[in-house]
Amino acid sequence: PNGLWWLEFRLDWKSESKRWSFKSRFRGTLKVASKRNNALRRLKPRFEGSIN
């Protein structure tokens, strides 16, 4: 895989900074995911027939 070397490279950095960046990135991902879920819930009645 292309990203494997990058992952290993990242794991060599200080564990503290890695942990912090991972936490903040995860938090941001959760925020984006909840926004997407809210948007999908709003759109769901419109598309429910095509999804099912």
Name the amino acid, one letter, at 16.
Answer: E
pLDDT score at 24: 83
Q: Which segments of the chain does DSSP mark as H helices, in order? A: 4-11, 15-51
Q: What is the pLDDT of residue 18?
A: 67
The model's pLDDT over 5-49, given as tens digits with 9 standing for 90+, comes to 777 766 666 566 667 777 888 888 888 889 988 888 888 777 666
Q: At which residue do the structure tokens 């903040």 appear?
A: 24
What was the pLDDT predicted at 14? 59
**Residue in this structure with the two tokens 């099912």, named with its chain if needed:** 52
Residue 20 confidence (pLDDT): 73
